[in-house]
Structure 1
Amino acid sequence: MYRILIVDDEPMIRKGLQKLVEQSELPIESLRTAENGVVALQRIKEERPDFVFTDIRMPKMDGLELCQHVAEMDADIQVVVISGYGDFEYAQKCVSYGVKEYLLKPVSVKGFKGVLEKLIRTKSKVSSESFIAVTLLEQWASRMEQAVWMLQDAELDLVLDEIQEELKTKHFKLNRVVDMLAEINTLLEQRLNARDVYVMQRDFDLAGAENEEAVWACFTAAIHGYLEELKAKRKGKLKDPVEEAKLYIESHLAEEVSLEEVADHIGLNPSYFSQLFKQSTQETFVQYRTRRRMEKAKKLLQQPQWRITDISGEVGYADHPHFTKTFKKYEGCLPSEYRQQMGIRA
């Protein structure tokens, strides 16, 4: 089953190409459209297509720029450029971005089907060159399920390291890595829920990840999330870990508290805690800590008895110039200027 994206600024042409896809009678999983390159990129991030058919001349972002962005994604996406005779020379520039197929307007049923079949043959050949057996995916999921159920962090990390090393040796495109990790997560979730003790489910969306490092960070955080969730359920721990973290940060604003230290305090894996914290607060750990420090600094600056140099230490900045620079970046003025605005002499 294949995913197709059609990009053209003319509604009638989009509809016509959609009809050609439907008439091809080939195995199509999804068929989506976009009116320009900007919308197309958003569609690609939401769900990576196997094939993109794109016009050359479009507003906001033309086909050439779209081809460039797709090439930079390092994704196994095959692109077909659709152009008129007048644009053919311009369309040839797309060769440097990996475009190998062209369709001239008006597009015929026979021509379109021929190109689509060729794309499918090429993709099937590439897919068969390197793969990971389903049995191996199932073995990984089974070992992770056991590690999660027995709360064995070290064993879980060992399996994750094996998966990462295996994927590196295969040199897969990003979209294939995403698909396989999503499949492993699904297998693990099914095994955990099959025990019929707790309902285990993690938010796991890799579609927007821009590179393999981001994909892997999201995957490992989700996997560790199962273990942390199970640990909390068994302890009957009802406290919100993010709220616990906030309270800890608040009481240690004068210290250089690290993410790892806070994660250890509330009993969570640092990688999982980092993902959970950002998902809950819409801020990274450092962004949140800095904001709370600056908010506390503003309150202290409004009290004349506090010297500015003392305030910097009270909110965790041993280096006074660093505090001044951070405050100006956050508030738009120096601490002394902020005081003057309050009618207080610096």
Structure 2
Amino acid sequence: MYRILIVDDEPMIRRGLQKLVEQSELPIESLRTADNGAQAMERIQEERPDFLFTDIRMPKMDGLALCERIAEMDADIQVVVISGYGDFEYAQKCLSYGVKEYLLKPVNIKAFQQVLAKLIQNKSKISSESFVAVTMLEGWATQLEQAVWLLQEEELARLVGSMSVELCGYKLKLNRFSEVLQELHMLVQQRLKARDVFGVQDELDLQGAVSEEELLERFEAAVSGILQELRAKRKGKQKDPIEEAKQYMEKRLAEDVSLEEVAEYVGLNPSYFSQLFKQSTNETFVQYRTRRRMEKAKKLLEQPQWRITDISGEVGYADHPHFTKTFKKYEGCLPSEYRHKMGIR
């Protein structure tokens, strides 16, 4: 089963590549897309793909920067660069970041299938290396989660020590060793979340580690940190990050506050914060912000001294027509019509 991520800012090209993947009849575990490199990095943090197809020219983070970030991760993600003829020099630069294949726009079926065949062949070679059985990881995750849940610090340290000895015996490459720990950490998190433990930070930073010992030290520190956070939460000393986020946003409805900014404020990874926010509010970050802006706009519209053009800026819309359009979509009428309903002329 393969995980594939397609990155391109043009919807038509994304859909075209999706269709080519689907026509290949590959056993697909997941097929996801991203509009740009920044969004692609979020997708990669959520679930690491086996194959990644990326355009060169994109807003926020282009394909070249994305390839560089992936190379820094030392991950077994096979990257295919898609470029126009005029971007060939950029595509060549990607070679220094470990990109082995590129496709020229417009992508034709034959070229795509040939590249896909090479990716599968490379994946088969990589998969033939030593690996840790999923059942082994599942067993370790269950034991670690149990020790964290019961706040058993000594047992947690013993389990990590025992697991470390076994894991080192597999003689994995350093990047694969890192991936196993990432997977194990994720499994522990999943088990805790199943118990409604959502307030723990789930980012495991292994970037830059130069040895198995360093990787294991960081892993142990991370799971121990979860235990400490859980202990503090049970004592009622832990602040609710979502309530903190709401208060932060409420004071800045007139500003263009991003999800990343709020996540940094509450000390959470943006991807995890996004999931946690949706889980806690049943709304996405953008949906919640829009609703709060519109609710504030309604309160201001009910006060005759406020001009409608001023209200749009007060709730974060520098573009007045955009505010009017959003308000109508939310409330079902224009701001001026809402005022008439309130008896304000």
Normalised to the residue count of structure 2, the TM-score between the two structures is 0.55
Aligned to 2:115: 115
Q: What is the identity, as a one-letter code, of the residue corresponding to 2:186?
A: A
Give unpaired runs (5+ residues) of structure 1. 194-198, 233-237, 244-278, 285-346
Aligned to 2:42: 42
Map 1:37-186; keep pairs closer than 5 Å: 37-141=37-141, 143-144=143-144, 152-164=152-164, 166-167=166-167, 170=172, 171-173=174-176, 174-184=178-188, 186=190
Residue by residue, what CA displacement relative to the aligned partner does 1:153-200 show, whole Å, maximum 9, x if unpaired? 3122111233345556532444443223323555x669xx9xxxxx57
1:282 aligned to 250, 262, 266, which one?
266
Q: What is the identity, as a one-letter code, of the residue corresponding to 1:12?
A: M
RMSD between superposed Cα atoms in Å: 3.7
Map 1:258-297; keep pairs closer than 5 Å: 282=266
Contact 1:202 1:222 in 2 (8 A): no
Q: Which moved more, 1:84-93 or 1:98-107?
A: 84-93
Alpha-carbon distance change, 111 to 147 in structure 1, aligned in 2, over 3 angstroms: same
Aligned to 1:242: 238
> Alignment partner of 2:124: what SS?
helix
Residue by residue, what CA displacement relative to the aligned partner does 1:192-224 show, whole Å, maximum 9, x if unpaired? x9xxxxx57455674685636766544343356
> Alignment partner of 1:82: what SS?
strand
2:223 aligned to 215, 219, 224, which one?
219
Contact 1:7 1:33 in 2 (8 A): yes
> Alignment partner of 2:58: what SS?
coil
Alpha-carbon distance change, 46 to 283 in structure 1, aligned in 2, over 3 angstroms: closer
> Alignment partner of 1:242: what SS?
coil
Task: Write the distance in 2 (CA, Å) between the matches of 1:145 and 1:225.
Answer: 14
Contact 1:52 1:78 in 2 (8 A): yes
Task: Write the distance in 2 (CA, Å) between the matches of 1:135 and 1:43.
Answer: 26
Residue by residue, what CA displacement relative to the aligned partner does 1:220-272 show, whole Å, maximum 9, x if unpaired? 4335667x49xx9xxxxx751337xxxxxxxxxxxxxxxxxxxxxxxxxxxxx
> Alignment partner of 2:121: what SS?
helix
Task: Write the distance in 2 (CA, Å) between the matches of 1:42 and 1:146.
Answer: 29
Normalised to the residue count of structure 1, the TM-score between the two structures is 0.55
Task: Write the distance in 1 (CA, Å) between the matches of 2:155 and 2:204.
Answer: 29
Contact 1:82 1:103 in 2 (8 A): yes
Contact 1:7 1:40 in 2 (8 A): yes
Contact 2:142 2:188 in 1 (8 A): no
Alpha-carbon distance change, 158 to 6 in structure 1, aligned in 2, over 3 angstroms: same
Task: Write the distance in 2 (CA, Å) between the matches of 1:99 and 1:62.
Answer: 15
Residue by residue, what CA displacement relative to the aligned partner does 1:256-289 show, whole Å, maximum 9, x if unpaired? xxxxxxxxxxxxxxxxxxxxxxx9x9369xxxxx
Alpha-carbon distance change, 111 to 144 in structure 1, aligned in 2, over 3 angstroms: same
Task: Write the distance in 2 (CA, Å) between the matches of 1:163 and 1:88.
Answer: 47
Task: Write the distance in 1 (CA, Å) between the matches of 2:146 and 2:12.
Answer: 55
Q: What is the identity, as a one-letter code, of the residue corresponding to 1:65?
A: A
Aligned to 1:337: none
Contact 2:3 2:29 in 1 (8 A): yes
Q: What is the identity, as a one-letter code, of the residue corresponding to 1:69?
A: R
Q: What is the identity, as a one-letter code, of the residue corresponding to 2:39?
A: V
Give unpaired runs (5+ residues) of structure 2. 208-214, 240-262, 269-345
Q: Could you tell me the percent identity over the aligned residues?
A: 56
